[in-house]
């Protein structure tokens, strides 16, 4: 497609018998001609207007002629590289369905989610300085919008998109969770979804995990009371590691199908973490003490007991 054409959108995806993507109608010469003859009937201006209505979209998409967009269900993806667009759309649609089920949000929810894949490093630096907590961040979510730095296919293989989707869907489901539970859900299940997607494509992916070297490791109650991301990089890493362990431990005790109800009990009904584990899932003092150890002990041996 001519790179100089304005930003356009694929409204739905079609595939040929080999499963490859078929160029949508608007890509054909006839469509371009018809759309050209009927100004006001193309999707382009509508798409541009939609982006301008989105707070993050306005900041990210400054020159619509340099972007491509595609929609599937209620996930829309914009990218500066058309080759990455289809792949990202497949992955995001898959992840959205899985994430919605996990957090107990309706799969066919009205609320949409919008992704921008940024290849321009200067733009990414500007956005991350404004919104991110950490300079190593490769993705961020604001409301229903997500920006990911994805310069290559390899960068798209990371768990950034499913991770941010988990955050967006927990917000959309109206869950008011302790930050450690929300972050732990995004870290643990974002990765699980990512793995599931790539295994289904026959890819081999490896988790990049940076383990915090120092401490202090917070106790369970202190961790549950954290309300803002630590600014200091090592403290942030520690918070992420403890949050992920917390959700892994709960998942081990109650099982993945119960996670949506667990989140609802805490994030909607407003019950306490220990109360829900004990009263809803019959966890005894030993199991709660085990969660405490998993969360607050830096030992690798603790990992082995639930991984």
DSSP-assigned states of every residue in 222-290: HHHT--S--SSHHHHHHHHHHHHHHHHHHHHHH-GGGHHHHHHIIIII---HHHIIIIIT---HHHHHH
What span, in angstroms and rounded, lies between the C-alpha atoms of 79 and 57? 12
Query: Do the Cβ atoms of 119 and 150 come closer than 8 Å?
Result: yes
Q: Which is nearer to Zn ion, 103 or 186 (CB)?
A: 186
Q: Which is nearer to Zn ion, 7 or 161 (CB)?
A: 161
Q: Which is nearer to Zn ion, 186 or 220 (CB)?
A: 186
Q: Which is nearer to Zn ion, 66 or 236 (CB)?
A: 236
Query: Minimal distance in Å, beta carbon 182 to Zn ion?
Result: 8
Q: Which is nearer to Zn ion, 27 or 130 (CB)?
A: 130
Residues of this chain that interact with Zn ion (CB under 5 A) are: 186
Query: Minimal distance in Å, beta carbon 298 to Zn ion?
Result: 21
What span, in angstroms and rounded, lies between the C-alpha atoms of 103 and 175? 9
DSSP-assigned states of every residue in 141-165: EETTEEEEE--SHHHHTSSHHHHHH
- Report which residue's Cβ sits closest to Zn ion: 186
Query: Minimal distance in Å, beta carbon 187 to Zn ion?
Result: 7
* 277: its two tokens: 């584990």
Query: Minimal distance in Å, beta carbon 186 to Zn ion?
Result: 4
Query: Minimal distance in Å, beta carbon 163 to Zn ion?
Result: 6
């Amino acid at each position: 497609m001519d790179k100089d054409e304005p930003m356009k959108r694929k409204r739905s995806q079609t595939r040929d018998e080999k499963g490859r993507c078929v160029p949508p109608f608007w890509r054909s010469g006839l469509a371009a001609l018809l759309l050209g003859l009927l100004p006001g009937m193309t999707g382009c201006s509508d798409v541009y207007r939609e982006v301008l209505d989105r707070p993050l979209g306005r900041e990210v998409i400054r020159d619509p002629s340099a972007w491509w967009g595609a929609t599937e269900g209620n996930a829309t993806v914009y990218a500066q590289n058309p080759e990455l667009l289809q792949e990202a759309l497949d992955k995001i649609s898959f992840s959205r369905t899985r994430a919605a089920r996990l957090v107990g949000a309706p799969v066919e929810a009205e609320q949409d989610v919008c992704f921008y894949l940024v290849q321009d490093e200067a733009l990414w630096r500007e956005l991350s300085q404004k919104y991110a907590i950490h300079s190593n961040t490769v993705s961020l979510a604001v409301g229903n919008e997500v920006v990911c730095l994805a310069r290559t296919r390899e960068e798209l293989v990371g768990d950034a998109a499913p991770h941010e989707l988990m955050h967006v869907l927990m917000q959309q489901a109206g869950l008011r969770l302790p930050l450690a539970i929300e972050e732990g859900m995004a870290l643990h299940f974002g990765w699980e979804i990512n793995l599931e997607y790539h295994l289904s494509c026959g890819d081999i992916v490896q988790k990049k995990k940076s383990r915090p070297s120092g401490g202090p490791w917070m106790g369970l109650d202190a961790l549950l009371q954290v309300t803002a991301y630590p600014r200091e990089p090592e403290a942030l890493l520690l918070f992420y590691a403890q949050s992920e362990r917390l959700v892994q431990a709960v998942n081990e005790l109650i099982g993945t199908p119960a996670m949506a109800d667990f989140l609802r009990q805490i994030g909607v009904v407003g019950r306490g973490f220990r109360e829900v584990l004990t009263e809803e899932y019959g966890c005894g003092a030993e199991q709660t003490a085990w969660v405490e150890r998993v969360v607050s002990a830096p030992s690798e041996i603790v990992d082995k007991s639930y991984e």
